[in-house]
Amino acid sequence: MKKLIKLDPVFKKKVKVFKRYLYIIKDKCDRLDIDYKNKFADKETVEKETEKFIKNLSEKIFKTLDAHYQEMWSILVEKFNFNERNYKRNRAFRVHQEFYKRQLMNFFIGCEMVQQILYKPLGYAGDFKVMIFLYKNNSPCQNSYYRLIDIYSMNTPIAHSVRSRKDYSIINFKEVIKNKQKNILSVASGSSTEIAELIKMNLPYCLNISLLDADKSALEYAKNELSSLTNENINITYHHQNIFEMTKYTLNTGEQDLIYSLGLFDYLNDGLFIRCAKNLYDLLNDTGKLVIGNVSITNTTRAYMSLVGEWNIIHRSEEELIKIAQKCRFNNFSIEKDDTGVQLYLIVRK
């Protein structure tokens, strides 16, 4: 018989205090929404005044939210021995997570991005639709409270690191593109926002770009978005394929100059990480470059992601990525990170 797990009193108290705080903020926002609609005749003025109100309110509230989730992270680790690799087997964490959601979810569920993360209609939390929310960085919420929470979510360190991936991809594109035909493969390509940016640059070089994703709807979205952009020098092919089944024979795109995957390996345990990294390495040509992204353990958004969104990815340190590269027997590799320090990149060259 499984032992009954009681709620930790410190955790419970802090959740109750936080709930009261959110209630006060939401009540203030809801009253303002009603007041502005009665006070101003046109929607444009309502929108303008609401934006001004949120801007004035956000700095102090965001600091409070940050402090709460940093405190929650300390509790999760110290009291429940939490980490993202074993959370499904961690009964203490799951009991407290359920309590957290019962108490507080009504304060988050009105946000469209939170809904997408929590309900996981495509099977996982960080799907391409969530990435689109983060790239656009613009809340669609009309309710001022939920817009405030959306803005907070879209400006967390993890959100900034997601947006930095696009610029980092462009840097890598420019590095490999010379004056001859190049092959580029994006694995778990998602919305392919960075490819859209590349097309708009109108570079005079011939590129064969292969987009691979196990999510058919992500490929369909990318194809629809990219088909409206024209560049006769860029040829794009779409591959609805699972990385675990992918080989150079099934992909059939030739050896690659650049392979990058910036939102997949955080979901893979070390064994799968090594297996997939080695498979991708085998697809490179003699001077090819492999770029693998992984979120760093320095991410201060971990408690927010786990408690509210049930979004559990495997954070890794630079040292862990070095050990993985060594186990892959890569001879020429390095570790880079973005300006936030939250996004790490394992760079492997042939």
Q: Taking the chain (350 residues) in consecutive chunks of 10 residues, what is each chunk's mean pLDDT? A: 80 97 97 91 88 91 97 95 88 94 96 92 92 93 94 95 93 81 93 94 87 96 92 90 74 86 96 96 94 96 94 96 98 95 96
Count of all residues that appear for the chain in the document: 350
What was the pLDDT predicted at 232? Answer: 84
Phi, psi of 294 (to 5 degrees): -155, 135
Tokens 């999760």 belong to residue = 76
**Distance (Å) of CA 331 to CA 169, 236, 280, 285, 317:** 23, 31, 15, 15, 20
| Domain range summary for the chain, segments of one domain joined by + | 159-304+312-349
What was the pLDDT predicted at 342? Answer: 95
β-bridge mates for residue 167, sequence order: none
- The CATH fold assigned to 159-304+312-349 is Rossmann fold (3.40.50)
What was the pLDDT predicted at 179? Answer: 59
| Model confidence, pTM | 0.92
What was the pLDDT predicted at 264? Answer: 96
CA distance 310 to 304: 9
CB 218 within 8 A of CB 127: yes
